[in-house]
Amino acid sequence: MTDLGGRAIGLAHGLALIGLKLGCDLAAVLLFRGLSGPEPSALLATLAALAGWVPALAVCALYAAAMEPALRPRWRPARPYSVPMVVVAGALTIVGAVLLALLAGDATTPLEQAIQRDVDRWAVAVFAIAVTPVVEEWFFRGFLYQAVSMAFGEWGAVLVVGLLFGLFHGAQYAGVPEALAAVTLMGLVTTWMRKVTGGILACVIFHAAYNVAGVVILFAAG
């Protein structure tokens, strides 16, 4: 296989993965609209989101196992030399996200507007801490990173996957550029962590810590 051929295959895999994710997201939106009543529930929205993630990851895992082993995510622990860098970068990113939240002031994102009830806040909190770090990292820093790095190299994958991560969260933070900037920064830093550690374990841990900080801010804001 030529280098050009390998890049083309990686690009094709990446586009297919993005298309798969968009298709599952659309199905989840339609499912949510079909289940929701006059007062949309964030609890139903999180269940619909989970219903969208399950088939997407199942298809990715089956395809990687049967057809393209190079797409298999690497779960290995962080390389020892990279741990201090990852911890410092993660802490600075969370601090930066908090500062951006303060700059946003009273502006509310569509996500915040949808979680006015306590049951919705708790549903989003549990989903954000216990589910999202695993499924999103498995897809973005796992399958998608592997495909994009085949096409553009590891540094190219850091940039492309990080920006796509922010783009995929655009609907949740529409109208609040500070929030969108924070999640995009988080995506770039987390993808960089994937590069320097060699696996997604550190990404999952950082993603969970980042979401814990977000949940704390959410509950503190009432």
Tokens of 133: 């770090």
Rounded to two decimals, the pTM is 0.92
Confidence (pLDDT) at 1 = 43
Confidence (pLDDT) at 37 = 63
Q: What is the distance between the alpha carbons of residues 185 and 179, in angstroms, rounded to a whole number?
A: 10
Confidence (pLDDT) at 36 = 67
Q: What is the distance between the alpha carbons of residues 145 and 218, in angstroms, rounded to a whole number?
A: 30
Confidence (pLDDT) at 149 = 95
* For the chain, counts of helices (H) and of strands (E): 9, 0
Domain ranges of the chain: 3-221
Confidence (pLDDT) at 88 = 92
| 17-62 pLDDT, tens digit each | 999 999 988 888 787 777 666 666 777 778 888 888 999 999 999 9
Q: Which residue positions in the chain have pLDDT lower than 70?
A: 1-2, 35-40, 78, 221-222
Tokens of 94: 């969370």
Asked whether 144 and 161 are in contact (CB, 8 A), the reply is: yes
Tokens of 40: 């949309």
Confidence (pLDDT) at 114 = 76
HSE-up of residue 82 (Cα within 13 Å, Cβ side): 18
Q: What is the distance between the alpha carbons of residues 201 and 77, in angstroms, rounded to a whole number?
A: 6
Confidence (pLDDT) at 38 = 61
Confidence (pLDDT) at 171 = 84
